Amino acid sequence: MFKLLKKLWRDRRGNALAIAGAALPLIIGSAGLASDTIQWALMKRQLQRTADSAALAGVYGKMSSQAVSTGTCSTANSQPVYRDVYTQSNANTRLDTTVSCTVGTPASPWNGSGYQAVQVTVSAQRAMAFSGFFLSTAPTITASATAAVVQSGKYCVIALKNNSGTGISFSGNPTVNLGCGLKSNAKGGTSVDATGSPSITASPVAAVGKITGTAEFPAGTTFQPYSAPQTDPFGSVTAPAVPNGCNQGALRGSATTVTVTGTAASPAVVCYSTLKLTSGNVASFTDAVIILNGGDLDIGAQSTLNCTRCTFVLTSSDGTAPGGITINGGATVNMSPPTTGTYANLVIYKDRRATNTCNNCNKINGNSSSTISGGIYVPTQEVQFDGSGSMNTACVQLVAWQVTFTGNASISNTCPGGGPHAFDGTMVRLVA
């Protein structure tokens, strides 16, 4: 008996099978756990994508004045978030489980009053084939995301055009040195379009749609296509009512200077049908608001316009047909805006009630003896920089429906003393 047992103990046949049998539970367990882990990781990624998208939707909703308050997602308190999770992403069906969604308070610094930010947390339970044998309750998988409106750059040229056309274009051989950025709200494939042989120095270059002709910009230019639209920085400024008796007719300069002077605290307000300067004419305004009722601002060649702390307001009694703007390259023009009051930082304001039916009706050219500073605001029509002049702009702010640089125009924009040089640009980004 003992001899038989010793022989069996020394026998090595069948060891591999015994070892494999002993290790089989560990092998099966490892494979099952690996499979479940992959499924959990995949679901985590899907939930994270859902949270990211919902947070972005929440911020865009806030920007359009939709309700986004903290709490469980619903059409009552977080409509854009709820719609993104359960309608656009179709999370319950896509993940084949019930997805819960809450809007929370973003972490510092995004919870400050100066930020538009939304935090979204989504979670779901998913029972797995292997771990389900051992767990009485399926694990909860959670993902969280925070999106916010963040600083995207400084822009001094903004095109408000919001359809599928082109907002800002360059053609011909213009030389444009802005020292700041460009932003187009146009949604199309050529929101910012550069053709010909322009020389453009501007950064960042941003657009709601696509930016084409990027090769025409120098190396190092920052491009931001498919950005959030820029709000109208002068959207709260309204045109004044045309004063009674605004029938002075056209204001024309003469060989002697036409002078209108007010004070910074009490600007002079004058009203004309048209301001038209021709060769040899001179007009000077200081601390003044010049209302042009239905007529043009036309500064012809070899004329002189001096405007110190003043604003030209192009409007009309019926608000539908303000005149055009023409600044000829042969004129000498020196214009600066007021620093306080209703038209602070604005040197030209065109009534936004003007219809967008004019063609080439706002042209600005210039020469080396001309300097324009401050804001030029033409929110419903195109502004065109055309010609072969070389114009200096100082701390310029150009906001128009559409902006075109063409011909051989040369613009050099500087802001040596600070001032209202550019607007803060914004975009929506995931921040956590």
Chosen domain end from 75, 107, 138? 138
Chosen domain end from 138, 163, 187? 138
Tell me whether residue 94 is in a domain. Answer: yes
Q: What is the pLDDT of residues 396-420, one digit of tens each?
A: 788 999 998 887 767 777 765 444 5
| 163 and 41 share one domain | no
Residue-level pLDDT at 418: 47
Looking at the DSSP bridge assignments, the partners of residue 223 are 205
Indicate whether this model's pTM tops 0.85. no
Q: Which residue has the higher pLDDT, 408 or 200?
A: 200
Residue-level pLDDT at 100: 92
What average pLDDT score do residues 311-323 get?
A: 83
| 112 and 229 share one domain | no
Tell me whether residue 146 is in a domain. Answer: no
Q: How confident is the model at residue 257 (pLDDT cuts 50, 70, 90)?
A: low
Q: What is the pLDDT of residues 63-85, one digit of tens each?
A: 878 888 889 998 888 899 999 99
Chosen domain end from 138, 166, 182? 138
Residue-level pLDDT at 110: 84
Tell me whether residue 89 is in a domain. Answer: yes
Tell me whether residue 404 is in a domain. Answer: yes
Q: How far is CA 339 from CA 264, 283, 322, 373, in A?
A: 8, 21, 25, 12
Q: How far is the C-alpha of 44 from the C-alpha of 355, rounded, in Å? A: 52
Domain carrying residue 239: 152-426
| 114 and 179 share one domain | no
Q: How far is the C-alpha of 395 from the C-alpha of 346, rounded, in Å? A: 11
Domain count, the chain: 2
Residue-level pLDDT at 57: 92
| 128 and 184 share one domain | no
The pair of three-digit structure tokens given for residue 150, joined into one six-digit string = 């963040």
| 417 and 273 share one domain | yes
| 237 and 132 share one domain | no
Tell me whether residue 99 is in a domain. Answer: yes
User: In the block, which residue shows the tokens 């070892």?
Assistant: 19
What average pLDDT score do residues 259-263 get?
A: 75
Tell me whether residue 330 is in a domain. Answer: yes
Q: How far is the C-alpha of 403 from the C-alpha of 409, rounded, in Å? A: 13
Residue-level pLDDT at 52: 95
Q: What is the pLDDT of residues 98-119, one digit of tens each?
A: 999 999 989 888 887 667 899 9
C-alpha triplet 160, 164, 165: angle, nearest 5°: 70
| 309 and 366 share one domain | yes
- Which has the minimum average pLDDT: 171-175, 298-302, 428-432? 171-175
Residue-level pLDDT at 33: 60
| 175 and 113 share one domain | no
| 96 and 239 share one domain | no
| 129 and 162 share one domain | no
- Residue 355: burial class (beta carbons within 10 Å; 0-12, 13-18, 19+): exposed
Tell me whether residue 1 is in a domain. Answer: no
204 neighbors 220 (Cβ within 8 angstroms): no
| 167 and 53 share one domain | no
Q: Decide if pLDDT at 15 tops 70.
A: no
User: Phi and psi for 227 in degrees, rounded to 5?
Assistant: -90, 170
| 132 and 156 share one domain | no
Tell me whether residue 145 is in a domain. Answer: no
Provide the CA 330 distance to its chain's centre, in angstroms.
Answer: 35
